[in-house]
Chain A
C-alpha cells in the first residue's frame, strides 16, 4: 500500500487562526473609519446644509408628494415632438462622438501610438477631460458657443461620449493579435492599410457593442440637456417646473421613462443581433 505523500502546505491551526483574527481586525478598523466619516459628514454637511424648517415633518412631505399625482395626461400630445428631438439628439451625438473616438483611440493605444508619446499623452488627456466634465457643463459651454437648440446638445453629447468610447476601444486595440498587422506590414502595407485591415476587423465587435451601450446612456443624458437650453424633453420638464405644474412634471417624467425603456429594449435587441 503506497503511502500518502505529505501535504504540500501543512495547515497550521495557529497560523489560520492568526490570519482570521487579522482579517477581523482589519474589518473592524474599516467599520470604525466608515462610522467616523459618516458622523463627520452628517454633522458638518447634512445637518447644517439642509433647510429642515421648510421641509416640515413627514405629513408636509407627503402632501408635497401628493401634488405630483395624478399625471396630467392632456400634456401627452405636446410631448411627442420633444421626445423625438431627444431621441435624435442622442443618436446624432453618439454618431459624432464615435467618429471622434476612433482616431483618439488609435492615438491612445500603447501598442500603435502613431504619433508617438506626444499623441499618446494628448489622447489620454482628452479622454480624461471628456469623462470628468459632466454633460451639463459641456452643454453650458456649447450653448454659449453655438446658441440655444439641438446643435449644442449634440456637441455636448459627442464630447461627453468620446472619453468612454475611446478608452474602451484603445484598451481593445492594446489587446489585439499582432500577427495580422505584422503580415500586412510584411507585404508592404501602408499605415492606413494596417489600421483598416489589421486593426479594425479585430475591434469591430467591441466597437459596435460599446457604441450601442453609449447610445443607451446618451438617451438618458439627452433628456436633461434641455435644462440648460439644449432642446428635447429636458426643456419640457423645465417648463412644467417653472409653471409649478406638478402633475405635468409627472407626465414628462413618465415620458422620459418610456423613451428610455424603449431605448433599452432596442439596444438589447441590436446587441443580440450584431454581437
Chain B
C-alpha cells in the first residue's frame, strides 16, 4: 500500500513540475512577444494577407524575366562562384581539420587552438555578413562572393571533417606511428583512409549548403543572381521576385538530386 501511495505521489510531483515548466515557458514566451512588439492577433490575418499578396503581386511570376541573357549569365556566375568557393574551401578544410582535431593534430600547442578559432569564427559569422565585409574590402563583384562563400564553406566542412577525425580508431594511427612515419605520413596512411568515405559525404553535403548560399550573396553586391533579386525586391516587382525564387528552388532541387546520386554512387 505504502509503495503504491508513494508511486502516486511521485507521479503527481512529476506532473506538477512538468506543468510548472510549461506554464513558465508560456509566460516567458508571452512576455518576449510583448517585448518584441509582436501583435499575435495579426497572426490570424496573416494567411489571408499572404493569400492576397501572392494572388495579386507575386502571381503570375514573370517567367520572361528569368530567360533574359543578362540574368542567365548571372545564374552561370552563381554556379561558378559556388564551385570555386566549395573547391577552395574543401581544399583548405582538409589540412585545417587535421590541425583542429585533438587526437592527431601535428601542432597541438599552437596549431590546434588557432585552427579551432579560425573554424569557429568563420562558422559563427553568417555568409551574408562575410559578403558585406568583403564587398567593403575588395569592392562589388564575384571575388567578394567567392571569399565569403569560401569562409562559410570552411566553417561548415572543417568542423565536420575534424569531428570525423576525432572519432577514428587509434589503432592504425599507432601502427603507422610505430613504423617511424612523419606526422604527414601518419595523416596520409593512418587517418585519411579511415575518414575518406565520411569526408566525401560531408563534401557533397557542403556543396549543397554553399550552392544554396551562393544564390543570395549577390543581394549585397557579391556577384551572382542575388543582385537581380535585390533589384526586383527594391522596385517592388514582386512578379520578378517570384520568378527568381522559383528558379532558385528549382536549381537547389536539381543540385540536391545531383548530390543524392553522387552520394549513392560513393557509398555503394
A interface residue numbers (CB < 8 A to B): 34, 37-38, 40-42, 44-46, 49-51, 54-55, 61, 64-65, 85, 88-89, 91-92, 95, 128-129, 131-134, 136-137, 140, 144-146, 149-151, 154-155, 220-221, 223-224, 227, 231, 237, 241, 246, 249, 253, 256-257, 260-261, 264
Q: How far is the CA of A88 from the CA of B216 in the complex (A)?
A: 25
With contact pairs A41-B84, A64-B136, A253-B125 given, residues A146 and B42 touching in the complex (Cβ less than 8 Å): yes
Asked if B263 is at the interface of the complex by the 8 Å CB criterion, the answer is: no
With contact pairs A38-B87, A46-B146, A134-B212 given, residues A88 and B133 touching in the complex (Cβ less than 8 Å): no
One digit per residue, 1 when the CB lies within 8 angstroms of any chain A CB and 0 when it does not, for chain B 217-260 equals 00110010000010001000010010001001100110010000
A-B contact count (CB 8 A): 150
How distant is A130 from chain B, measured CB to nearest CB, in Å? 10
Could you list 14 further interchain pairs (A-B, Cβ under 8 angstroms) beyond the known A40-B80, A227-B128, A231-B36? A45-B76, A49-B143, A50-B143, A55-B143, A61-B137, A92-B33, A95-B29, A131-B252, A132-B249, A133-B248, A137-B229, A150-B37, A154-B38, A256-B129
Interchain CB contact under 8 A, A132 and B219:
no
Q: How far is the CA of A49 from the CA of B138 in the complex (A)?
A: 12
How distant is A79 from chain B, measured CB to nearest CB, in Å? 15
Interchain CB contact under 8 A, A44 and B216:
no
The chain B residue sitting closest to A231, CB to CB, is B36
B interface residue numbers (CB < 8 A to A): 29, 32-33, 35-39, 42, 46, 49-50, 53, 57, 76-77, 80-81, 83-84, 87, 120-121, 124-126, 128-129, 132-133, 136-144, 146, 212-213, 215-216, 219-220, 223, 229, 233, 238, 241, 245, 248-249, 252-253, 256
- B241 contacts which chain A residues (CB < 8 A)? 140
Contact of B124 among A42, A85, A146, A256 (CB under 8 A): A256
Where chain A touches its partner, the secondary structure class is helix
Q: How far is the CA of A188 from the CA of B84 in the complex (A)?
A: 58
- B229 contacts which chain A residues (CB < 8 A)? 137
